[in-house]
Amino acid sequence: MSDFLQVSTEVAEALERGRPVVALETSIVGQGLPAPHSLQAALGCVAVIRDEGAVPATIGVLDGCVRVGLTRADIERIAAGSEKVSSRDLGPALVHQKAGATTVAATMRAAWMAGIRFMATGGIGGVHRGHPEDQSADLQELAITPVAVFCAGPKIILDIGLTLERLESLGVPVLGFDCDEVPAFYLSSSGHPVSARVADAVDAARVLAASWATGTRGIVVAVPPPAELEGADDLVSQAIARAGEIEGAGVTPRLLAMMAELSDGRSLDLNVQVVTNNARTAARVARAYPEESRNWTR
């Protein structure tokens, strides 16, 4: 194990004993949501994972280490001020002692290094609308890192169709959790089909085991949101029009902030519900996985 990787005692013991563990990202705390919604989302995910009998492993960069299994105090440190850290940024953040909030890509990388197969987030990154050259590192990480990412599909501000095409080209399955169409984060359906449907936690665990046994790497498990944001498509169009020509890492936070403003905060409340629902689903599948994976273990 890398000297830069620090796994909490609770998470390490759970992995050693074969208990279910679910990784959580921290970019939702550092950049994705404002206070108090940021901590509500982070701590809510921790709580529902424990309620489902699994162990939460919140991941971030602190004090020159990738920390797997952050405490509440650690999460509050990241919320108080941190840099957005993707997989490409891990080295500099570690060497320069940065406080880092990990994206989906960086969290996947750290989870795999620690031996964790399951991760929950709100929505994955993807291809930006009108800028197909601007693609999230989440997509490439899914192509190479064998972790299942439970989410409500790509973020609605993205070009969902092109994102799914890119995932198909990279050989990344998009499994619909009791749904036939990929959710659009704030909406249950995007109009785009999933690559396969899984009926429940047991079915999902079986498909994940069979996929990994046959060489698949990252897998998206798309979970419909527990509620919908009324007029979400119109709000996205307005947000994009108002946000202007922002490029790079600032695009997603700016657009999500515009969505919150235009929806009078309704998107923030739903965001918390979405991410905690995804964490609950991930915990249930992680709990079912050891039993269902036995037939696929060589």
Which residues are designated catalytic? 25, 155
Alpha-carbon gap, residue 240 to 70, rounded angstroms = 34
Indicate the Cα dihedral angle 249, 253, 259, 261, nearest 10°.
-130
DSSP 5: E
Which residues have CB under 8 Å from 196's CB, separation 6+? 173, 175, 176, 207
**∠89-98-44 over CA atoms, to 5°?**
90
Alpha-carbon gap, residue 188 to 167, rounded angstroms = 20
3-state helix/strand/coil string of 108-161: HHHHHHHCCCEEECCCECCEECCEEEEECHHHHHHHHCCCEEEECCECCCECHH
The residue ranges of DSSP E strands in 2-98, in sequence order, are 5-7, 21-24, 55-62, 65-68, 83-85
Contact 178, 152 (CB under 8 A): no
> CA-CA distances (angstroms) from residue 35 to 40, 42, 99?
8, 11, 18
Q: Classify 169 as helix, strand or coil.
A: helix
Which has the closest alpha carbon to 182: 127, 269, 173, 273? 173
Sort 60 into a burial class: Cβ within 10 Å, 0-12 / 13-18 / 19+: buried
